Structure 1
Amino acid sequence: MERNIEKKFGYQVGMVAHLYHNLSNERLAHFDITVAQARVLYILVQHGPQTQVELQQQLYVKASTMTGIIDSLLSKSLIGKADSEQDKRAKIITVTDKGKELDQKIWEDMSDMEEKILAGFSKEELALFKFWLSKVKDNICKLNEGGE
């Protein structure tokens, strides 16, 4: 069997993800924010207030990592944090007006970056590409849940 890591799916996806993540962080540094912090803002703007645990689950991160992200966004006054009325142990995270404004700027900048990265792909190719990536993500989630 030929051993060529560059022909492996995981290698190619990993490299693209690594390069994309680095480029994203470079661009987001101009806003003094990280990719993970930007994702939290996006979720809160799109879906409204969330518990810290809900955010953690949507971002696939550990509790300690989520706490660091939340603390950083709080220190920048981009989000608010309060006790849940239903469960005093849970913390409800909300986005501030300052956070909403930053999210819009980030959205515009990242959309521009993505447009440049995906230049040359047809709409059909992009739709198929996104479908395949979604399918791979679902398969990985099933494996993580103990499925075959």
Structure 2
Amino acid sequence: MQHQFNELFDRYYKSWRGIESAYDKIAANHGVTSNIMNILTLLYKQRSPMTQNELSKELNLSRQTVTSVVDSLEARGLVTRSIAEGDRRSRVISLTEQGRASGREMGRAMRRIELSAFEALSGEDQIAFVDNMEKLWHGLAHALGEE
């Protein structure tokens, strides 16, 4: 039985790393890291500015990582940073026109590839896959005492 679990987890880790690598390649095709791609596409999808704290929570990234990525995006002219109303310690991140175009382009490319990959699954399997991913995520959060 232990051998079966070891094989199952080996397949799980290989799949996880493969999926992560695929997103890294999508980002690299656009000349950015996956963290940059994720922040740009999230801001584009939200269609409104977000605080760095909101970005951190939504993407499960450390505050330090978000700050570093936002610094890079700001230097590239893709985002602006301003002080949040009512909380001078909080920074609001907004896409520039160039950032909006980049977020749209990357988001569309990512979605095309995801849709192509999802075609390998039936509609029922797609739903089951996402449902099971959510269960695993919540199970891990519970095991870590986060839920």
Same fold (TM over 0.5): yes
Q: Over aligned residues, Cα RMSD in angstroms?
A: 1.8
**How far, CA to CA, are the matches of 2:100 and 2:51 in structure 1?**
18
Compared CA separation, residues 31 and 142, structure 1 to 2 (3 A): same
TM-score by length of 2: 0.87
Aligned to 2:7: 6
- Percent of aligned positions that are identical: 21
Partner of 2:33: 34
Matched, 1:133 2:133: yes
Amino acid at match of 2:37: A
Which ranges of structure 2 fall in alignment gaps of 5 or more residues?
none
Cα displacement (A) at 1:56: 0.9
Moved over 6 A (4+): none
Distance in 2 between residues matched to 1:38 and 1:126, nearest whole Å: 24
User: Number of aligned pairs?
Assistant: 145
Cα deviation for residue 98 of structure 1 reads 1.0
Structure 1: give runs of 5+ residues left out of the alignment: none
CA contact (8 A) 2:56 2:62 kept: yes
Please list, as runs of the form range in 1=range in 2, the aligned pairs for 1:96-115 lying within 5 A after superposition: 96-115=96-115
Check 1:110–1:146 CA distance in 2 against 1; reply closer, same or farther (3 A cut): closer
Which amino acid is 1:111 matched to? Answer: R
Q: 1:2 to 1:145 in 2, by over 3 A?
A: closer
Q: Deviations over 1:46-101 (max 9, x none)?
A: 22211111111111122211111111111111111011121111111111111111
Residue 16 (structure 2) pairs with residue 17 (structure 1): yes
Distance in 1 (alpha carbons) for counterparts of 2:138 and 2:44: 25
Which has the larger displacement, 138-147 or 88-97? Answer: 138-147
Q: Deviations over 1:18-52 (max 9, x none)?
A: 11221222222121212111111122122221111
SS at match of 2:94: strand
- Counterpart of 1:6 in structure 2: which amino acid? E
Paired position in structure 2 for 1:46: 45
How many angstroms does 1:115 deviate by? 2.7
Three-state SS of the structure 1 residue aligned to 2:7 is helix
TM-score by length of 1: 0.86
**Alignment match, 1:122:** 122
